[in-house]
Structure 1
Amino acid sequence: MKVYAINGSPRKNKNTATLLQRVLDGVVQVAKDKEIETEIINLYDLNYTGCRSCFACKRLEGKSYGKCAVKDDIQEILEKLSQADGIIFGSPVYWDNISGQLHSFLERLLFPYLVYDKNLSTIAPKRMPTAFIYTMGSPEEIMENLNYKLTFSKFESFIERIFTKPQVMYCNDTYQFDDYSKYESTFFSEEAKATHRKVQFPFDSQKAFELGARLIK
């Protein structure tokens, strides 16, 4: 079995990446009696674009029917994910949405599997379990007031149509800088952020671990 975590953050050891690793830890813990491999894929290490609207993935009897025809850094990754036993997507929230890097990646991953028939069917090779983790500097009340969940639900609905309904987790009010004094950040209270992280992030890490333990059964 192979479970992948897709890191849509430019940082490899901060909030999003840490929680993705905890999900994978949970997967491994619950699958002790199975041969299982896990891998984090850092999207910001890769050179690619979003969908180019070439429609090669829709051409009947074409050699790329049902798969992305663009040859770049994610071509082999898309192939690996087609046979995954679980996928966890993770992203920081930028401008009320997922990162542009992850948005482009999801275009390339999901669109080839969507069939333009009357039922908008899916031809994904596997219907593997999925999850989505969002990390953000916004407190939970701002997330609710700005209706982030409605925005997030759009890609979640596509993931559900193509694969399965993702389990979802939010990590709010994250600590953003190593040293707030070096940045113009008076909108935030460094003390409050630090206190929140000390209390809440271990709890969020445990929630991520438990999500992983539920993902593969």
Structure 2
Amino acid sequence: MKIYAINGSPRKNKNTATLLQKALDGVKKAAKDKEIETEIINLYDLNYTGCKSCFACKKLGGKSYGKCAIKDDIYEVLEKVSQSDGLIFGSPIYFSNITAQLLAFLERLLFPYLVYDKNYSCIAPKKIPTAFIYTMNVPENLMEQIGYPKTFNHIEQTIEHIFTKPLVMYSNDTYQFDDYSKYESSAFSEEAKASHRKIQFPLDCQKAFELGVNLIK
């Protein structure tokens, strides 16, 4: 078995990446005696764009029918994740949505499998178990007011149509800076942020671990 975590954050060792690793730890725990490999793919290490509307993936009889034809840094990544046994996506929230880097990756991964027939059928090679971890500065009690769940639900529905319905977790009110005094951040209380992180982030790590356990049950 091979499980990939797709890190849509530019940071490799902060909130999102930490939770993705905890989820992969949960996967390994659930696997028990099964042979299983895990890997984090850091999207910001790769040079690529979103969909270019070339429609090579839709051309009947074409050599790229059902797969992305753009040959850049994620060309081979898309192929290997399409054959995986589980995908965990992770992203911080920028301007009320996932990062542009992850959105571009999802365009390239999902669109080739969507058929333009009357039923908008799916031709993905397998129904891969999926999960999504969102990290954000916004407190949990403001998510509904700002409309986050509705925004996130759109991409989750697309993932469900192509692969499977994602398991979902949120990490809210995250601690963003190593030292708040170095930045203009008067909208926040560093003391409150630090206090919240001390209590909540270990709980979020456990939730991510359990998400990984449940991914391959």
Relative to the length of structure 1, the TM-score reads: 0.99
Question: Residue in 1 aligned with 2:12?
Answer: 12
Residue-by-residue CA offset, 1:162-210 (whole Å, 9 max, x unaligned):
0000000000000000000000000000000000000000000000000
Q: Which consecutive residues of structure 2, in runs of 5 or more, have no partner in the other structure?
A: none
Aligned partners of 1:81 and 1:112: how far apart in 2? 14
> Could you tell me how far 1:131 is from its partner in structure 2?
0.2
Paired amino acid for 1:114: L
Aligned partners of 1:202 and 1:144: how far apart in 2? 24
Aligned partners of 2:44 and 2:103: how far apart in 1? 12
Residue-by-residue CA offset, 1:24-70 (whole Å, 9 max, x unaligned):
00000110211000000000000000000000000001000000000
Matched, 1:86 2:86: yes
Paired amino acid for 1:196: H
Matched, 1:200 2:197: no
Paired amino acid for 2:182: K
Residue-by-residue CA offset, 1:74-133 (whole Å, 9 max, x unaligned):
001000011000000000000000000001000000000000011101000010100000
Question: Residue in 2 aligned with 1:51?
Answer: 51
Give the root-mean-square deviation of aligned CA atoms: 0.5
Task: Indicate the SS of the match to 1:125.
Answer: coil
Relative to the length of structure 2, the TM-score reads: 0.99
Paired amino acid for 1:81: V
Residue-by-residue CA offset, 1:120-165 (whole Å, 9 max, x unaligned):
0100001010000000011012212101000011110100000000
Aligned length: 217
Question: Residue in 2 aligned with 1:189?
Answer: 189
Query: Which structure 2 residues correspond to residues 158-169 of structure 1 after superposition, within 5 A?
Result: 158-169=158-169
Q: Which consecutive residues of structure 1, in runs of 5 or more, have no partner in the other structure?
A: none
Paired amino acid for 2:204: D
Paired amino acid for 1:75: Y
Query: Which structure 2 residues correspond to residues 61-210 of structure 1 after superposition, within 5 A?
Result: 61-210=61-210
Aligned partners of 1:204 and 1:117: how far apart in 2? 41
What fraction of aligned residue pairs are identical, expressed as a percent? 76
Aligned partners of 1:53 and 1:162: how far apart in 2? 19
Residue-by-residue CA offset, 1:5-32 (whole Å, 9 max, x unaligned):
0000000000000000000000001102
Paired amino acid for 1:8: G
Structure 1 moving runs of 4+ over 2 Å: none
Aligned partners of 1:35 and 1:24: how far apart in 2? 14
Task: Indicate the SS of the match to 1:90.
Answer: strand
Question: Residue in 2 aligned with 1:36?
Answer: 36
Task: Indicate the SS of the match to 1:118.
Answer: coil
